[in-house]
Structure 1
Amino acid sequence: MKDKIDKAKILELAERQVKAGRTEEAIAEYKKLLSGDAPDLSINNIIGDLYAQLGRTEEAVRSFQAVAGYYESRSYFSQALAIYKKISKIDPENVIIIVRLGDLLISQGFTVEARREYLKAEQKLRREKRIKELIFLYDKLIKLERDNIAYKLTLAELLRQEGFNEEAIIQLNDAAEIHLSRNELGEAEKVIEQARWLKEGDQRTMTNLVEVLKKSNRRKYALEIVGEILKKDENNVHFQTLLGSLYLEERELDRAEDIFSRIVAANPVETRARIKLGKVYALQGRAEKAYELFDPLIASMVKKQKEDKAVGLLGIVLSAEPLYLPALERLAVIYKAKNHKSYLEVVNRVILEEARAKGLTEKMFVALAELFELRPRDKDLIREYRELRRGLGFVDEKTGEADTLSAMEAEEGDIDLLLARVDLYNNQGLVRNARRILDNLNIRFPHSPKIEEKLTALDEVKAEIRAEEIQVAVGKVQDIEAKIEATPDLARTFLSVLQDEGSTEKRVTSADLFADTEILPLPAEEAEEKKFYDLGQKIADEGEMIQGVFAQQLRGDISILEKELTEIVSEFREQVRKKVETKDYETRFNLGLAYLEQGLVEEAIEEFLMASEDPARALECSSIISKAYKQNNNYDEALNWLERSLVLVDVGSAEHFALLYELASLHEDNGDRRKALELYRRIRDWNPAYRDVIKKVDSLS
C-alpha cells in the first residue's frame, strides 16, 4: 500500500514541477519510478518527451528506445511502432532507428512504408560510404523485392568492393536469371560477362551463358563453350549433361543417347541424366526401354509420396508412339491410390481403347471393371461389358447371369420389377440367381431399404434343389417372363402371374410386393386434405422437408409420382418469393442456412445476400458467403467477401485478427503462399499463441 501512495505522490510532484516549468526537476522525480522491484518502464515515454522539450535529443532517444524495447518484449508492436515514429521525427538521421522502424513496419504488413524507410537509410549510408551497413540494408531490400534486378546489381557491386567475389557472383547470376525469365537476353548476357570477369569458369555463370546462347539461336557457339570446358574437365557430369541436352534439343538423338548412357553407367544415381536418357528413348519410340529406365525412380517417388513427379516420368514414357500399356496401368494405380477419380477414369478409358485395338481381352475386362466402379450408371459401359461377356460365351441365360446384367443396367424405376423377379427365382428355388440380381442392384443403388430387406430375407432362405431340377426351374421362369413381355400392363400382369403360379412360400400379394414403395396397384384411397404452411413462420419445417426428400433420393425410395429435388427446391423458392418479404431478414438468414445444409450453395448465397442488408447480420452473412464461395471453389469471391467482413470490425480487435486468420487460410488454399505468410506473421506479432499461427509461419517461411 505504501508503494502505491509513494508512486501517487511522486507523480503528483512531478506534474507540479512540469506545470511550474521546472523540467529538470520533473525528470528527476519521474526517474524515481524507474527504480525498485517493479519499475514502470512506460514512464520513459514521458521522460523522453521532457528531454525533447529541452532539446537533449540523444537522451530523449535513449528514453524512447527503452520504452519501445519494453513494448516489443510484450509483443505490443503497434505501440512500439508509434514510439519509433516519434524517435524518427526528433532524430531523422538516426539510421539504426530508421532501419528498426522499417523492420517493424514489415512485421505489421506495411511493406511499402518499410521500403520507404529503408531507402531513407540507404541514402544516408551511401553519403557516408558505410559499405558494410549498406550490404546489410540491401539484403533486407532484396527480401522485400526478390525480383528487383537493380537491388541485386547494387549489392553485387558492394560485395565486390569489400572483396566478397563469390557472394557478388551469386547476386549477378540471380539478376541474369531474372533477365532470362523475362527473355531479356541482351541484358542477361551483359550481367553474365560481369560475373565471368570476377571468376572465369564458374559453373552457374557458364550454364547461364549457354542458356542465353541457346535462346538467341547461337547453339554452335554454346556447343563450342561446353566442349572447351569438357576438354579441361572431361569428367564434369554437369557439363556432360548440358552437352547431351544440347544434342537432345537439336534432335541428334544418337549423340544424346551416347552421352547420357555413359553418364548413367558411371553414375547410376545421376537422376537428371537418367531422365534425359528416358526422353531420348521416348523420342526414338522405345517406350519399353524408357519405362525400364524410370521404373526404380517411379517406385522411389511413390514411396516418398511424390506422386506428381512419378506421374511426370510416366508422362515422358507415354509421349512415345505407340502408347505403352504397362505405363498406363502404372498411372492408373497411382491415381487410384490418390483417389483422383476423374484422372483415373480418363486413364482407364485409354487403356480400354488400347486393349480393344490390340485384342487384349483380359486387359479390357480389368479396365471395364475399374470404369464400372467409377461409373456404375454408365449404360454404354454396362452394354459393352455385357456384349464382351456374351461374345466370349461367358453369359449363361440359364443361370440367370443375364438378369444380373439387367440389374447392372437398371434405372431407379425398374427396382420394383427386378425385386419381383427376385421373388420369382426364390419361389422356384433358384436362390443363387436371385442373389446375383440383388447384389448388382445393391451396387447400383446402395443403402436402398427395399434391396437391403430382400438381401436379409434371402440370407435366411436355404433352398434345396437337385441339379436335374435346375433346368426345369429355369425353363419355368423363362415361360413366365415370356408371358410378361407379351403383356402391355407389365406390373399388374407380373403380379397376377406370380399369384397364379403358386409358391413354396405364402402367396405374393400386391401389398407384399409394393409395401416399401409409393406405387399403388389398386385405386387409391380418398386423398387427404391438403395443408398449406405459412413459409415465413415455418421455415424450419420446410428446411427439414428438403432434407428429407434429399435423403429419400439417396436411399433410392423412388416413387412414380416423385419430383426431382431441383424441381422441388425451385417450386419452394417460388413460394418463398411470393410469401416472404425481402426485408424479413431473419427468415432469409434461416432459409440460407437450410439451403447450405443441403449443399444448395448458390441458393444459400442469394438468401444471405438479402439477409446481409440487416446491419446486425452483415458481418455474419459476409463471413458465411465467403465460406460458401470457398465451398464452390470460387476463391476470388471468397476473398472478396472476407475482405468486406474486415471492414465491419475494429482494426486490432480480436475479431479483426480472427478474420485475418481466415483470410490467410484462404490465400494458402488458393496457392498464394506469400500473402498467406504475410498475414500469418501479422497475427503472430499480435499474439504468438493464437491458434497454430507459429506452425503456419514456420511451414510457409
Structure 2
Amino acid sequence: MSARSDRVRVIEQAEKYVRGGRIKEAIAEYEKLALSDPQDVGTINIIGDLYIRLGHTERGVRSFEKVAEEYEKRGLYSQALAISKKIHRLVPDSVDFALKLGDLYAQQGFVADAKNVYAAVAGRLAGAGKTAEAVAIFEKIVTIDREDGDARKALAGLFAGVGNIDAALDQLNELAAVRVEKGQFEAAEAVLNEALSMKPGDARSVVSLVEVFKRRGQPDRAVEILEKELAAAPDNVQFFNILGNLHFEAGETMRAEEIFTQIVTGHPLNVNARIKLGRIQILKDKLDQAYELFEPLINNLVKKHRDEKAIGLLGLILESQKPHLPALERLALIYRTNKEVKKLEVVDRAILDELRKQGLKDRMVAIYGELLDLRPGDADLAREAGAIRQELGLASEEARDEVLGLSEKDREAIREVMAQADLYLQQGLVRIARRLLENLRFRYPEDPQILKKIAVLDEVRTHMDEDEIRRRVEKTTILEAQFKEQTAGRKAEEKRAAEKRPEEKRDEERRPEEKAPAAKPTDGRKTMKPPFRGDVLEGEKISTADIFAETDIIPFVSSETGERAYHDLRGLAAEEIGWLAAARAGQLAGESSPLERALTTIVAEFRKDLRDKAGPVDAEARFQLGLAFMGQGLTAEAVEELTLAANDKSLAVGCCSLIGQGYRQKRNFGEAAKWFEKAMAEAKPASDQYFALAYELAEVLEASDERDRAAALFREICAWNPGYRNVSARLESLAKSAAG
C-alpha cells in the first residue's frame, strides 16, 4: 500500500474517532501523520485543537507553538501571528509567549498592537519587582515608538527606583524633546521640571528648559533660569555660553561681549565664545580684533582640510563694510594651496587694491608677480607691474629673467619646491616651510613668488610641542611622497599637452570677457563686494554648533537632539514552500487526484459534523478553521470559512488579509488585490495596520505588472516610514525598471 493511500486511511480513521467523541484515539491517529511529516502544520494544528478540547492546554500550546515556528520558517508571518494570538488567549500570563506575539506584531508593522502586548507584560513584571526584565520590555516599546510617553515615564521611574538617575534623566529629556517637536511646550516644561527635581542643575535638563522658553518666545524666563543656575555653579562655561548667546540674539551686544570676553579669558580655546566675540567685534568695525580671535580656529580648520569652513569664517570679516588685508591674504593662501586659480586671481586683485590704498607698494610686487603667472598675456597687468618695479628701483621682470637665465626647467623646480613648502605649511610646520623657501631664494634671489611666499610666512604664528611637530612631519612626509608621484604623472601629461597651449592662449586673448571682474582695481569698496559675496566666498556659512566638530579645539558642548529610529524590517519576504507548491500544482491545472478527492470529502464531512454537533459556529471558530484549511492548502475551503468569519468586524481585517494571501499563493493576483483592498478599507486609515496591508497590496500589484499603482503605494508607505521593510529598495527597483 502506498504512503498516499496510508495517509488517507489514517485521516479517515481519525475523523471517525472525532465523530464518535473518541478524541484521544483521534489524536493518536493524527500524531502518526505528524511523526511522518513534522512540517505538516495543518495536522499539528488539529492535534492542538483536539488537546484543547480534552482540556490539556499545555500540550495544545506546544502543538500550536510548533505550528507558529513552522509558519515563521516559511515566511508566512500573518499565519504565525494568528497562531500566536491563539496561544496568548490560552495562556495570557505567559511572558515568553506574550513577548513572541509582541515581536510578531512589531515585525509586521502593527506597532500599536505590539505596544499593548509589551506594556501589559512589562507592567506585570514591574509589579512583581522584576525591574531589569520590565526595563528591557519598556525599551522595546520606545525602540519601535520613540514618542511613547507612558513607556518613557515608566522607564524613568524604574531607573530612578534602582538609583540610576542618569538613565532616568535620559528618558525624561527624550520625552521633553518629543513634546517640543510637537509644539507641546507646557508638557515639555513639566517633564523637565520633574527631571530637575531628580537632579538639580543637570546640564542637559537646564539647556532643554532654556530652549523651551526660547521657543515659547520667553527669553527673559530663559535668562532667569541660567542666572539662577550660574549663581549655584559660577564656573559652568556651557551655561555662560548659552547666556551670552541669548543676549547676543536679543541685540544686547554689550552684555554679550562681557560674557564672551570672560569665557575667552578663562578658556581661550572655547569655540562658541571666540566666534560670537569675533562677530561682535565685526559689528563694531574692529576687524583686527575679530581676525585675531578667528585666526587659531582658521588654522585648525585648514589643518583638518576643512577649507570651506575656514573660508566661511573669513567671510564674516570680508563681508563687513570695509576690506581687511590680513583676512584677504589668508584667503589667498587657502586658494593658492588648493590651486583654485580663478578665485586666487580675484582675491589677489582685491589685495592689490588694498595695498595701493595703504601705500604698501613694496608688497605689491609679489602680488603682481603671481597675477602675471596666472594671466601671462594680460598687457595691463604687465604695464602696472613694470611701473611699480620701476618706481621702486627694481629690475623689470624681463631683464631679471634674462640675467638669471631662468629656463622652464628652473621654473618647474621653483614650483615643485613651493608646493612642498605648502604641504608643510598646511600642517603648521612654518619653520620647515621657511627653510625650504630660504634655500630656494638662495638659488633664485629675486623671484617674486618666493619673496611673496616668505612674506606670507612672516604673518603666520604657530605654537606646538615636539611630539606634535614629529607627528606632523611624519604625516607631511607621506603627503610629500604622494605629491611627487602625482607630479611625475602630471609632467608626462603636460608634455603631451604642450603643443596645444599656444592655441589655447590665442583663444583666451580673444575672450577678454573671461578675465577677472576687476581688471583695473579701483579705490572703491563696491567693486570688490560682488565677487566675494558670490564666487569667492562660497564656503559654508558659519554655525557655531557644527563648524568645529572635526577640529581638535575644545568645542562648546551642546545638548544632543534625539533622532527618530525606525524598526528595521527590511528583507522579509513570504515564500511558497516547495512541497505545498507541488501538492497544489495539480489543482491549479484543474486536475484532482484520488487523494485530493478523498481529502476534500473528509473535510466536507468534518465541517458538517462540526455544525451538527456544535450548533452555529461562531466567527472565531470559523477563523481558526479557515486558518487550518489554509495550512493544508485547501484555499477554496479556507476562503469560504474566512469569508463568513469576516462578518465579525473585529476579525474582518485579518480574514481579508489571509484570503488575499491565499489567492496570492495561487498566483490569482486579481482576487488577491481585491481582498487586500477590502482589508485596507476595514483598517484604520494611516495606521500601522493600514500601511502593512498597503505593502502586501503593492507587492501583488507589482507581481501582476501594475507597476504604476504599486509604485504609488510604495511611495505612500515610504513617506510614512522610509525604514519599513524594504520599501526604499522596492521603489528604487521600480524606478530603474521604468527607466529601462
TM score, norm. by length of structure 2: 0.43
| Structure of greater relative contact order (alpha carbons < 8 Å, 6+ residues apart) | 2
